[in-house]
């Protein structure tokens, strides 16, 4: 990923992380207890608001951990600034159900034809038909449950939208 292709929020995350690392190095210079202890104290003080950070940096990154601090410092020294733009947790809808449309259709068909089916029943059907879905192993029960929950939440919101439209007419 190149720095030129980043959007404004990604640039803000990079700049905020660089600013926090700069604040930590200043804090560490004046700290007596060593590098590990300075990380712990700095993170705690930053999270409690005792470190005077610029408002824009504090709004961009509200809390930090020691692991994040070290990862950011390593990425800065390795000149890998593009990785500082990362927003963790952006993998939503990238799992097996969202990439395998045949599997998705199977779950929708099961939910629509047998409305009271459970995730365990759907998983049993998937396990029997692994070759049909081109899977090496079935997804976990937790994955099936999560997908069904997402689908039910989306279906509920669509039903509410349709009710509201019908009430307006």
pLDDT, tens only, 32-69: 888 888 889 999 999 999 989 899 989 888 999 999 89
Of 41, 63, 67, 68, whose CA–CA distance to 53 is shortest?
63
Mean of the per-residue pLDDT values for the chain? 84
* pTM for the whole structure: 0.52
Highest mean pLDDT among 8-17, 23-32, 121-130: 121-130
pLDDT tens readout for residues 119-128: 999 999 999 9
What whole-number percentage of the chain has pLDDT above 70?
85
Of 1 and 23, the structure prediction assigns the larger pLDDT to 23
Assigned token pair, 122:
């759907």
For 162, list phi and psi in degrees, rounded to 5.
-65, -40
Q: Residue 1: pLDDT band by 50, 70, 90 thresholds?
A: very low
* % of the chain residues with pLDDT over 90: 31
Distance (Å, whole) CA 138 – CA 154: 24
b/e string for 102-130 if b means 16 or more Cβ within 10 A? ebbebbeebbeeeeebebeebbeebeeee
Angle, vertex CA 38, rays to CA 86 and CA 35, nearest 5? 90
For residue 91 the two structure tokens come to 């993998």
pLDDT of residue 120: 96
């Amino acid at each position: 990923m190149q720095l030129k292709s980043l959007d404004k929020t990604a640039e803000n995350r990079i700049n905020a992380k660089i600013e926090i690392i700069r604040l930590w190095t200043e804090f560490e210079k004046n700290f007596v207890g060593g590098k590990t202890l300075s990380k712990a104290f700095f993170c705690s003080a930053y999270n409690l608001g005792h470190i005077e950070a610029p408002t824009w940096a504090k709004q961009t990154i509200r809390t930090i951990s020691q692991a994040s601090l070290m990862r950011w410092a390593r990425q800065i020294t390795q000149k890998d600034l593009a990785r500082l733009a990362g927003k963790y947790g952006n993998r939503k809808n990238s799992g097996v159900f969202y990439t395998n449309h045949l599997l998705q259709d199977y779950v929708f068909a099961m939910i629509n034809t047998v409305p009271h089916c459970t995730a365990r029943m759907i998983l049993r059907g998937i396990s029997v038909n692994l070759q049909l879905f081109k899977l090496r192993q079935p997804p976990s029960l937790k994955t099936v449950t999560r997908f069904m929950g997402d689908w039910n939440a989306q279906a509920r919101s669509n039903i509410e939208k349709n009710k509201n439209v019908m009430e307006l007419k």
